[in-house]
Amino acid sequence: MALKPRLTELRRLTFMYAAQSKKLLILDILSILKQYSDEEHRLSQKEILQLLKREYGMTADRKAVKRNLMDLMDFGFEIEYSETNRMVKNHKTGGWEETVVQTDYYLVRDFSDSELRLLIDSLLFAKHIPHHQRQALIEKLEKLSSRYFKSRVKHIYTLPDNTPQNKQLFYTIEVLDKAISAGRQVSFTYNSYSTDKKLHPRKNAEGEIRNYIVNPYQIAATNGRYYLICNYDKYDNVGNYRLDRITNIEMLSTPVKPMERVQGLEHGFDLPKHMAEHIYMFAGPSETVTFRVSKTMLNDVIDWFGQEVEFSQETEQEVVARVYVNLQAMRRWALQYAVKVTVLSPKSLVEEVRQDLLAAMGHYGLTP
């Protein structure tokens, strides 16, 4: 007696599945266009029918395929195709008639393959993103194009996973996005690497883990790293913190400090100006700096300081440059390019660079 109800239920489920499969025809066609079509690989209605049968066990006729393709276009999907004139026999009259046939369908993508390649290349060298997360993001980007795109980038390999990684990075970004939008403070632990190649919390004078409470204003990416531009609540100046060194972040209920109470942000936040001044994202004051530089370095000067740099006193070999920049960042930059750069002002920076160079000479057993 129990067997009959079970067979009846099985027949019902089988019928329901078959009926639903026909309803899924439009989604199956869309999936085929996503996987198998692009500008260089176009599909005829016959090829779509063959793929429906092979991939989904779905049978349909050309009219159903064309009707669903038109519906997809009406729904807003950008599908390109070509039209050709053909002579088709009219089965009612027995005569031949000219008709327009649509073929060579392909789905237009939101991203071109070159744009996807650029995004993937950026991920390959994004040291601030953990290795396994880079791989997962690259796979998602590959799916934004057809299967043929993946075959063209299969020779790309990521850099070895030999750098320490902070697995909380994406969560940190998510919390900061919410906090900045809500105008709320955040607290977190800020870390530094030790010789064991692991992150360790920074501690206060008493040896306790230091809790940072900051007012977040902006997230910026530079030099292959993410930085939080904010104000450490104890002080009144702008601070920059590397996101890959932040752990245990928490959004607080307290509102952020208004920007007009932060030195350097009294007139609002100008991200391009801030990034040009803080080329290494150091905290501290900015001033006008002049330096003499070899003209062979002009590309580097523009790359680092942007279009705001002013040039004067040009000779055949050198030129004097004037920039408004964070002093500690300029100190590092001048040392990095010391062979071709001479700082001229302010005098305090000139003396700091001079002392740095003397100390460096001492490391190599040299005396001035």
Concatenated DSSP letters of 28-51: HHHHHHHHH-BTTB-B-HHHHHHH
Q: What is the pLDDT of residue 1?
A: 43
Structure tokens at 270: 């100008």
SS3 174: helix
pLDDT, position 92: 77
**Distance, CA of 364 to CA of 83 (rounded, Å):** 75
Q: Which two tokens stand for residue 306?
A: 């942007």
Supply 42's token pair: 């176009």
List the Cα angle 229/230/232 in 5-degree steps: 140
| Secondary structure of residue 304 in the 3-state scheme | helix
- Residues of the chain with pLDDT below 50 are 1-4, 7, 10-20, 158-159
pLDDT (0 to 100) of residue 79: 93
Helices 113-124, 131-142: axis angle to 10 degrees equals 180
Question: Looking at residue 20, what is its pLDDT?
Answer: 46
Report pLDDT for 78: 93
Give the pTM. 0.57
